[in-house]
Structure 1
Amino acid sequence: MDDGDEPGRLVDKLDLSGCVRLLTGDDTWHTAAEPAVGLSRMVFSDGPAGVRGPGWDETSTAAVLPSASALGALWDEDRAYGLGVLLGEEARRKGVDVLLAPTLNLHRSPLAGRHFECCAEDPLLAGRTGAALVRGIQSRGVAATAKHYVANDSETERLTLDARVDERVLRELYLAPFEAAVRAGVWLVMSAYNRVNGASMSESSLLYEPLKGEWGFDGVVVSDWGAGRSTVASGRAGQDLLMPGPEGPWGAALVDAVERGLVSAEAVRDKARRLLRLAARVGALAPEGREGPEGREGREGREGREGPGASADPGASADPGASEGPEPPAGLVTPATPVAPVTPVAPVTPATSVTPVTPVAPATPVALVAPVTPTTPATPDVLTAPKSPAPPVRPVVVGAEQPPIAGQPLAGPPAEARCEPRPRASGEPGPQALAEPRPEAVAGAGCGRSVHAVAPADPADREARGRAVLCEAAAASSVLLENRGVLPLDPAALATLAVIGAHAADPRVQGGGSSEVFPREVVTPLAGLRDALPPGVRVVYEPGPPPEGTGGPAPLGPRHARDPETGAPGVRLRVLDASGAVLHHAHQPSGRVLEPELPPGAHSVELAAVLHPDVTGPWTLGLGGFGALRLTVDGAAVLAGEYPPRTDDPAVVHVRPPQHTARVHLTAGRPARVVARRRLAPGTGRATVLTAAPPGPDPAEALAAAVAAARGADAAVVVVGTTEGAESEGHDRRTLRLPSPQDRLVREVVRANPRTVVVVNAGGPVELPWRTRPGAVLLTWFPGQEAGAALADVLLGRTEPGGRLPTTWPAVLADAPVRTTRPTAGVLPYEEGLHIGHRAWLRAGRAPAYWFGHGLGYTTWAYERLGPPEPAPGGYEIPVELRNTGARAGREVVQVYLARPDSAVDRPVRWLAGWAAVRVGAGERVTAYVRIDARALRHWCPAEGGWTAEPGRFTLLAGRSAGDLPLRGVLEA
C-alpha cells in the first residue's frame, strides 16, 4: 500500500510526550490508542503454530499448523504462502492485527530448544520459506513479524548470552533470512533478547545497518517481550516499540532523555511515524476526517474485547545510565522508501529431447514427594482469492524467486501492491489453489476431508476446508526416511493392523513455549487410521510402556474432572482477595490457566475440581507455578510450600512453570475434591497449572502386550517421539535420544513383525539407532492438528510423503559437528563460522544418518542430464533432466549446489544454490529449470562492505540431497 505522507502529517500533531506514549505497549498484547490522530489499539498475538489471539486458555482455540521445521520440509513456497494466507484469515477473524511469526533463526545445533520453531539450517531455504509465509499473512491485511533478529539460535541463557559472530558469517547466514523477509515486504521485525558482539539487540547498530538503511525496512522494530532494558541506548538505536506495557524503560524516562539531549527528538518522531504507518497498513488508523478508534471496533473481524491486562512482570526498570547506543546515521531517521517484492522468473519449457549422461558417483496412603525440577475492511476469503493475471508462458515447474541482490534495482510491482499476491504465470498455482487441496491430494478423498469445488459459504464449511489444507500440509511435509517395500500399505491386504505407542493416541502436534495454541480438535494417528481403513480391517491398539521424562502429569482435564459448582467437565477458577473473598470466577476446560483475569486486589488464584478416578492406586497430582503453593485432597494438604522462581525467562515463568507433585492413593468410583491455590507475588508470573495422572501400567507387561499385538497383525505402526519436557522454548536439549524405553519398544516390535512402520513424532533430530531394521521409517515432525488424517493418507498411499529434510540428521549426537548451545561466562562464540548444517558435515568429512534434502517418495527417479546454465534476470537457470522410473506419478525436489574448491576465500565444500520441484507420471521425463541468483556466487567482503564477485569457474552439482548429487557441470562467473 502507499500511505503517502499521512504518518508524517499525523506525527506533527503530537508533542514529544504524545509520540513517546505510543512507543510502549498499552498492556501485554495491545498498543496504545491515540484518538487525536484516529489511532486505535492494535492487537498482537503469538503465531508461529497458530493464531492464539489476546487470550491464552482453552476457551480460545486455534487452528494448529505443522511446526516450522515441517514447513521447511515442504521445500514449497506456494504451499507455505497458502498456509500464511490461512494464518492471516484466522487472525482477521480473531481481531488480530499483528502476528508474531515467522521465526527466521537457523538450525545451528540440533540441541536447540526451538529447533522445531525454525524452518531450516540453510539460509536460502529458511529465507524463501519465511518470505512466502510473510506474503501470505500480509495478503490479508495482517502484519507478519520476522523474528528473532538476530543470532537467537539457542535457548540457554537466551536473555543475556552474547553471541560472538563475525560480520561475514552474520551476512551470509544469520541475517540472510531476515533480508529475504524484508524484500518480501514484512511490516515488523522483532529484536531478540540476546546480545550480538557485545550489544543487546534492542540497542544494536544492526537495527540501522543493514536493516533500516541498506535493506530499506520501513516497518516497526518491536522488542521481544521484556527485552527492552535501557532508556538511552535503546532510544538511540533503531528500536521502535517496546512490549509489553504499560511499564517499561521508556515513557517519562525517554521524554527526559530527549529533553536532556541524550536521544534526538527526530529519532523518536521516526519511531512514531513507523508505528502509524503500521497502523495504516492493518486498518487501525482512521483516514483524516473519519471516525477514530471507537469506530474501528465494529469492523468485520474485530472482537472488541480487552486484553488480559499488563504482565505481572513488566520487565527491567528504566536505566537512563545505560551505555549509549548509536545514533542513527544521517538520513535514516526519515521513513525509508518501501521495498517492492520480487517478480518471479517466468517458467520455461522443458527440452523436447534428452541426452542421458553417465552420473557421477558421489496402593498407598497420601504421600508427599519432592518438588520436580523443571526439566479494516473485510478482506477476500482465503479460499477464493483470485489469481493475478499473467500472459501465457511455456509450462514447466521452476524454482521460486530469490531475494534480489543488495544494491541492485528490484523488479516487480510498485510498492503499493506489496500486499497483493505476486503475479503468477499461466498454470502456476495462485492463492486459491494454494489454500485449497491440490488435485493430487483430492484424488481418493485425500486427507479424509470433503473437498468443495467452490468456497464454502458458512463457518462450518470454511473450517472443514481449513482442516483439509492443514492435513495436506502435514502429509506434504512428512519425510520418508527409509522404505523397504512396506509402504504404501495396501488396505486390501490387511486383516489386522497393530497400532502401537503412547504417541499414537496422544501425539505431540506442536512444540512448547510461546508458540503454543489450544487446538479445536486433534486427529490422533490411531483415530486417523481407524477412520481411513475399511470396516473389515481390525485395528488393535497397545500403548506400550509409557515414555519417561514427560515433565510431570498432564493438566487435569474433562475426562476425570468436574466443575464443583456446575458439574460440567473441567475445573473452577476463582481469583481471591487477601480475605478470601471471590473477585472473579469462571469455568475452565482444564487445569492449565496461564493468563487469568486479575481484578484489582487479587491476592491468590484457586483451581478446584471434583476428580473422578477410573483406576485404583497411587495417582500423581501436581501443581505448577511459582510462589506460595498449596494443594489439598478432600481438605487434607498433600503439598505446601514456597517455590520461588529460579529464572526470569518468560517461557518458564508465564508458559510452562515447573510442577511440584505428590502421590495420592485414590479409589476408582470414589470422587475426590482437589483444590490448588497459589498466592500471587511480583516476579512469580500468572500461570497456575493443576495436573493429575493415574497410575501407569507395569512396563514389562505393557511391552509384552505391544509385542503380542504386532506378532498377530499383518503390519504394525509404531509411533514414537519426544515429550513435553524435551523440545520447548526456554531450554535447550541435552540429548537427542528418544525418551526411554521407546528404542527398546521399536526393536522388540520389529523383531516380532518385520512389516513394521516406525513413525517419528519430533520437531527436530532424534537418534534412531534401529533405523535400518523396520520396514519403513516416516518422520512427521510436529504435524499440527490433522496429524492422524495426514498420516493415514501417507501410509495408505492416498498421497505421497512429499517432505525433504530441511536439516541434517545425525546418527548420534557425538557426530554432530556443531553442538554448542551453552555459553561460557555469558559468551557463545560461533567458532564454526560459515560451516553449519550440511556444510559442517562436509567440512568434517563425516556422513550423517540422513543428509539435508533427503526424502523418499513412492516412485523412483533417474537424473539424466545437467544442461548448460542459461542466463536469466539477476542470475541463471540450470536445466536438469530427469525421468520418473517408477510405477506411479510422483514429485521430486531437484536440488542444485555450488562448489568452488580453488576459492581465494573460505567457502563451504558446497552450498545450496537453488531448487525446483517437478511432478510427472510414471515413465515420463521432465526438465526442471532451477533458478540460481547471482548472490549465490558472491561472498560478503567486510573490507569493502559489500557483496563481492569472485571470477572463475564454479562447479554445479545436481541431485536429490546434499549427499546424493549424481550430475555435475560448470558455471563460469
Structure 2
Amino acid sequence: MSSSTGTQRGGTAVAGAPVTRADQARTAAVEAALGKLDLDAKARLLAGQDMWSLPALPEIGLASVVLSDGPVGVRGVRWTADDPSVALPSPTALAATWDPELARRAGRLLAQEARRKGVHVLLAPTVNLHRSPLGGRHFEAYSEDPYLTGEIGTGYVLGVQDGGVGTTVKHFVANDAETDRFTVDNIVAPRPLRELYLAPFETIVAQARPWGVMAAYNQVNGATMTEHRHLQQDVLRGEWGFDGLIVSDWLAARSTTGALLGGLDLAMPGPVTVYGEALAAAVRAGEVDEPAVDEAVRNVLRLAARVGALDGAPPVVTELPAPLDGDALAREVARRSFVLVRNEPAGDRPVLPLDPARPGTIALSGAAARDARILGGGSAVVFPHHVVPPLDGLTAALPEGALTYSLGADPSDELADADQGFTLTAVCRAEDGRVLGTSSVPGGRVQWAGSDLPDGVTHDTLHTVELTGRFVPRESGEHAFGTRGLGGFVLKVNGETLFDGVQGPGDAADPFEAFFGTPEERARAVLTAGEEVEVSLLHTVFPMPDDAPIKAVAFSLLHLGPRHDPDELIARAVEAARGADSAVVVVATTARVESEGFDRTSLRLPGRQDDLVRAVAAANPRTVVVVNTGSPVELPWREEVAAVLLTWFPGQEGGAALADVLLGAQEPGGRLPTTWPVSLADAPVTETTPTGGELRYDEGLFIGYRAWERAGTTPAYPFGHGLGYTDWEYETLSATPDEVRVRLRNSGARTGREVVQVYLAPTAGAAGAPERPARWLAGFASVEAAPGETVEVHVPLRRRAFEVWDEGTDAWAFVPGTYEVEAGHSVTDRRLTATIEARA
C-alpha cells in the first residue's frame, strides 16, 4: 500500500480535524479535575509515585496511570517471567518490512498486551536515526532515513493508540548514540536538525497525534533536552501543535525550574524527582509561577483522560480492535523483515529457497542456531512464553534425519546469564532471615527497580536475595560460574561454597555498566551432561542512600559451558557440511556487543564466526549464512557463500519464520532500512565519542545513503536492497509534483512482493541554491502479484519533499526547479526515471 494517511485513525483526530463532543467532554473533565487540586497535589502528580506509575488521586476521580517499556513487547511493571510477554522482532526488523500497515498491526498487538498487563502508556517507539552504525541502540531505532522512520513510526503509534494505549515517541531529540549519553552536548546545525533528526517526530505528530513524547538525556546545542524550551515549547508544541504529555527519560530531569519552564510535564521515575515537593517549594519561593504548573498538570490529566483513567472523561477508544494472535503476528513480522541480500545460483537455480519436497540433508551450525538471540539488550528486554530458535524451527519443518547440528563457533567466550538448563527461584529475606517473598528468575537475572519487587518485599526490609534451584548441564566438562552486579555474593554448587566475596561499583559512569557491565568469573566445577546439580547464589544487597532517585536490586548468576578447542569445533562443522546437500551457518552478536548503555567499537562478528563461515563455504558450495544481528556487521566472506539472509533480532518466532523462508513457504519480504558497509573504515559517519563534552554533527545533512553517495564509496549492500524469490520488470512511470504512478509486472515464476521506492534527485541548481543530497527517499509502496500479473502503484509526493530549512528566515522554503523522479528496487537500483517541474 502507499504511505498516504487518512483523516481519522483509531478514534484520534489528526491535525486539522474538527473537535468532537468527546474531545470537549475530556477537556471539561480535565479542567474540572484541575480546579480541585491544591499546589502540593499538582506537584506530586508531576513526579510519579514510583518507577512506573503516577499517583492516583481519588478526590478527583484519577486512577493511577501505568507506563512500561515497550518497543518489541510490553514488559509491565515487573521484570519477571511470571507474566510473559510476546516478543516481536527488533525495530530495525519492523522498518525492514517497509510496511506501515504491518507496523500498525504490531502496535495493536502491543496495545492488546498492554491492556492485559494493566499498562496505559508504552515508552516507545524509538525514532532516532542510524547516524552511525556504531550506535549502541541502533537495533532499537528504525532507519538511517527520516522519511522511512516517520512512516513506520506513524504506523506503530496509530496501532498502539487504536487499542486505547498511549505512546511516548522517543528520544526527543538527537539521541543517536550511547557514549556519555547523560551529559553529551550534541552540536547540530539548524538544517540537519530540522531535515533529519526532528523530521520523524514532526511526521508522527502530524499523522498520528501521539499522546506522549519522551525528552532525551542529552543536550542539543547547549541546552539539556528536558529543559530545551525552544524545541519543546516553540517547535513541538508551538509549530507542530502537539497537545500530549512530555515525559523525561528516566532520571533525565535535573532542574526544577529549568525543566518546568523548558516544557517538561512529568519527571520520572518518582517519588524522588526535581518535581514533587521541590516544585511546590519553587512556586512558593516565587521561582516559577503556578500557571506553568497548571499547564503541566493539564497535560498529565489529558493523557489520563485519553486512556480512560479520569472519571467523567470518555476514553478516546471505546471499541477495541479485533484480538490478534501474538505468535502468528510475531512470525509474520519476522519473515516479512528478513532481507535476502545475496542468492547465487547453485546449479540451474539460486540456492534459495531450498526445495521443501526434496530438501536433501542440511548441515546447520553456529551457536545462535541453538540459542537464538531474539532481542537487543537494555531496558526493552522482555521475557516471552517461548522462543523458537533456528534449530527447533528447521527440525519441525524438515523430515526426520534431514538436519544435523554442530556448534561450529561460539560468538562469546564470556560468561552469560544462567539460562539454558537452569531453573531458579529468587528467595528474598530480611536481615533476621525471615522470608519476605519469592519470584521466578528468568536467565538467572534479577532486575528490580523502584517498586518492581516481588509481593511482600520492600527496599527497606530487603537484606539478601538467594537464587536457588537446579542446573542440568547439556555437556560434560568444566563449567564456569560467575556474577554480575554490585554487592556481596556467596556461590554454591551442590552445597559446596565456590566463592564468597564483594563486588564494588568501580569506575562505571552509566548505571547499565554498573549493574549489568563486565561479567566476573568466580569459580569452576566439573559436571556431567544430564546429571542435575543444585546451585545457589546468595546476594547481599548493595546499600543505597535514602535519597537515591532509584532504589534497585540488579545482579545475575552467570554461566559458561565447557571450553572447546575452536579449531576442533570448526572442523566438526566442516565435516558435517562436506557430507550434506546444503549448509546453513547462523552467526550473531552478543549482549556485550549490542545493548543499551554503550556504543560499539567494531563491526566485526565476535569470536571465530568468520573463520567458521569461510571453512564451511569452502567445504560446501551451497552454503547459506543467516546473520542474527540487530545492526550492520562486517561480512568479509560475503562473496564466498551462496546466500546471505539478514534476520535482525527476529523475536520469539524467529526460528519458525526462518524455516518458512529457507524452505520457500514464504518469501523473504525485507528491504534494508540502513546501509551495510563493507568495513567500518568505509562508513562515512562513525564518531560516537564526545570531545570536551561535545559530539559535533559536522557531517550535516549527509548521513546514511546520502553520505555514501556523496563519498562515492560502494557499500556491501545499499539502502533499500533486498531480494525476493521472483523477478520484477518496471514498465512505466508517470509523475507530477503531487503523485508518482509506477506500473510493474511480476516476471518470475511465483507470487511475490515488491517495494517500489521513489527518490527525488534535483538537477543542477542555479547559483546560490542550497546544497542538497544527490537524491532522497520521497515515497514508497508495496505490491503483491502472481506470476505474469501487472500492477500499478500510486505514491503521493508531499510538499515537504521539495523543501529545505532556510537558516536565514528560520522557516521551510520550497525549492522550485527541475527534478528527476526515480523509481526502483533500491537507492542504487533505480529502474525508471521521469522529469518534473516543481513550482512554489
The normalised TM-score by structure 1 is 0.79
What is the aligned partner in structure 2 of residue 332 from structure 1? none
Is 1:628–2:488 an aligned residue pair? yes
Code of the aligned partner of 2:415: G
**Match of residue 94, structure 2, among 34, 51, 71:** 71
Structure 2 counterparts to residues 418-497 of structure 1, below 5 A: 465-484=325-344, 485-497=350-362
Q: Distance in 1 between matches of 2:126 and 2:532?
A: 48
User: Could you tell me how far 1:862 is from its partner in structure 2?
Assistant: 1.9
Q: Say which SS state the counterpart of residue 473 (structure 1) adopts.
A: helix
- What residue number does 1:371 align with? none
- Which of 405, 421, 425 pairs up with 1:572? 425
- Residues 182-221 of structure 1, C-alpha deviations (whole Å, 9 max, x = no match): 1211000000011111111110021102101111111100
Equivalent residue for 1:812?
679
Q: CA deviation at 1:637?
A: 4.3
Deviations for 1:723-781, whole angstroms, at most 9, x for unmatched residues?
12111000110110111211111111111111111111010100011111211111110
Find the counterpart in structure 2 of residue 238 from structure 1. 263
Residue in structure 2 matched with residue 554 of structure 1 by the alignment = 417
Which residue of the partner structure matches residue 646 of structure 1? Answer: 507
Distance 1:377 1:860, change over 3 A: closer
What SS is found at the alignment partner of 1:618? strand
Counterpart residue type for residue 446 of structure 2 = V
Q: Deviations over 1:1-58 (max 9, x none)?
A: 5123321222111122221110011000110111111001011110001001111022
Give the aligned partner of residue 96 of structure 1.
119
Residue 219 in 1 paired to residue 244 in 2? yes
Given that residues 553 and 621 in structure 1 are in contact (C-alpha distance below 8 angstroms), is that contact kept between their aligned partners in structure 2? no
What's the TM-score, normalizing by structure 2? 0.91
Q: 1:816 corresponds to which letter in structure 2?
A: A
For residue 543 of structure 1, what is the aligned residue in structure 2? 407
In structure 2, relative to structure 1, the CA distance for the partners of 1:96 and 1:932 (3 Å cut) is same
Aligned to 1:16: 39
Map of 2:254 onto structure 1: 229
Identify the match of residue 896 of structure 1 among 758, 782, 803: 758
Alignment check: 8 A CA contact 2:486 2:502 kept: no
Match of 2:602 among 735, 747, 771: 735
Q: How far apart are the structure 1 equivalents of 2:60 and 2:255?
A: 28
Change (3 A) 1:199 1:743: same
Superposition deviation, residue 589 in structure 1: 4.9
1:690 aligns with 2:690: no
Aligned residue among 111, 125, 141 for 2:164: 141
* Counterpart contact for 1:618–1:663, Cα < 8 Å: no
Deviations 1:660-705 (A, max 9, x none): 2123232324735433323321178311211222213332221111
Answer yes or no: is 1:500 the counterpart of 2:365: yes
Query: Aligned to 1:36, what secondary structure does the other structure show?
Result: helix
One-letter code aligned to 1:825? G
CA–CA distance in 2 between the matches of 1:40 and 1:646? Answer: 41
**SS in structure 2 of the partner of residue 572 of structure 1:** strand
For the residues of structure 2 that align with 1:906 and 1:629, how far apart are their CA atoms? 59
Aligned equivalents of 1:887, 1:556: Cα separation in 2: 44
How much has 1:959 moved relative to structure 2?
1.0
Cα separation, 1, equivalents of 2:796 and 2:238: 28
Which runs of no fewer than 5 residues in structure 2 stay unpaired? 1-21, 345-349
- Report the AA paired with residue 913 of structure 1: A
Q: Is contact 2:541-2:553 (8 Å) kept?
A: no
Q: 1:231 to 1:381 in 2, by over 3 A?
A: closer
Please state if 1:115 is matched with 2:141: no
Change (3 A) 1:574 1:377: farther
Aligned to 2:14: none
What is the alpha-carbon distance in structure 1 between the residues aligned to residue 46 and residue 593 of structure 2? 36
Which of 779, 788, 812 is the matching residue for 2:655? 788
SS in 2 for 1:492: coil
Q: Contact 2:417/2:556 (CA < 8 Å) preserved in 1?
A: no
Q: What is residue 623 of structure 2 aligned with on the other side?
A: 756
How far apart are the structure 2 equivalents of 1:642 and 1:782? 32
Give the Cα–Cα distance (whole angstroms) in 1 for the partners of residues 272 and 311 of structure 2: 27
CA distance in 1, matches of 2:827, 2:443: 46
After TM superposition, list the pairs within 5 Å mapping 1:388-427 onto structure 2: none
Question: Residue 552 of structure 2: SS of its match in structure 1?
Answer: coil
Partner of 1:272: 297
Q: Deviations over 1:927-947 (max 9, x none)?
A: 222211011000011222221
Q: Secondary structure of the residue that 1:640 maps to in structure 2?
A: strand
DSSP-derived class of the 2:483 partner = strand
- Give the SS at the match of 2:834: strand
User: Which residue of 107, 110, 125 maps to 1:84?
Assistant: 107
Letter in 1 for 2:142: C
RMSD: 1.9
Residue 966 (str. 1) matches residue 831 (str. 2): yes
**For the residues of structure 1 that align with 2:103 and 2:569, how far apart are their CA atoms?**
41
Letter in 2 for 1:909: A
Cα offset for 1:252?
1.9
Equivalent residue, structure 1, for 2:775: 910
SS in 1 for 2:417: coil
Unaligned runs of at least 5 residues, structure 1: 291-375, 385-434, 436-464, 562-569
Q: Tell me the amino acid that sits aligned with residue 886 of structure 1.
A: G
Structural mapping, 1:150-161, within 5 Å: 150-161=173-184
Q: What residue is the counterpart of 1:200 in the other structure?
A: 224
State the shift of 1:611 in Å. Answer: 4.1
How far apart are residue 954 of structure 1 and its match?
Answer: 1.5
Q: Which deviates the most, 680-689 or 222-231?
A: 680-689
Q: For the Cα contact (< 8 Å) 2:758–2:823, is it kept in 1?
A: yes
Q: Which letter maps to 1:467?
A: D
Amino acid across the alignment from 2:803: R
Structure 1 match to 2:816 = 951
One-letter code aligned to 1:547:
P
Give 1:612 deviation, angstroms: 4.7
> Secondary structure, in 3 states, of the residue corresponding to 1:257?
helix
One-letter amino acid of the structure 1 residue matched with residue 685 of structure 2? V
Does the 8 A contact of 2:603 with 2:632 survive in 1? Answer: yes
Distance 1:962 1:709, change over 3 A: same
Measure the CA separation in 1 of the matches of 2:702 and 2:598: 24
Cα deviation per residue 1:372-415 (whole Å; 9 max; x = unaligned)?
Answer: xxxx799655436xxxxxxxxxxxxxxxxxxxxxxxxxxxxxxx
Partner of 1:255: 280
Q: Is the Cα contact below 8 Å between 2:246 and 2:264 reproduced in 1?
A: yes
Task: State how 1:319-398 maps to structure 2 within 5 Å.
Answer: 380=319, 382-383=321-322
Alignment match, 2:214: 190
Q: Distance in 1 between matches of 2:800 and 2:735?
A: 19
**Secondary structure of the equivalent of 1:778?**
strand
- Alpha-carbon distance in 1 for matches of 2:796, 2:711: 29
Distance 1:254 1:261, change over 3 A: same
> How many residues align structurally?
790
Q: Distance in 1 between matches of 2:763 and 2:512?
A: 44
Amino acid of the residue matched to residue 286 of structure 1? D
Greater displacement, 711-720 / 249-258: 249-258
Inter-partner Cα distance in structure 2 for 1:46 and 1:271: 22
Which stretch shifts more, 677-686 or 142-151? 677-686
| AA at the equivalent of 2:581 | D
TM-fit CA distance, 1:617: 3.1
Counterpart residue identity of residue 172, structure 2: Y
Percent identity between the aligned chains? 49
- State how far apart, in whole Å, the 2-side matches of 1:6 and 1:556 are: 49
State the distance in 2 between where 1:892 and 1:613 align.
Answer: 46
Structure 1 contact 612–672 (Cα < 8 Å) conserved = no
Q: Single out whichever of 923-932 and 269-278 deviates more from structure 2.
A: 923-932
For the Cα contact (< 8 Å) 1:623–1:676, is it kept in 2? no
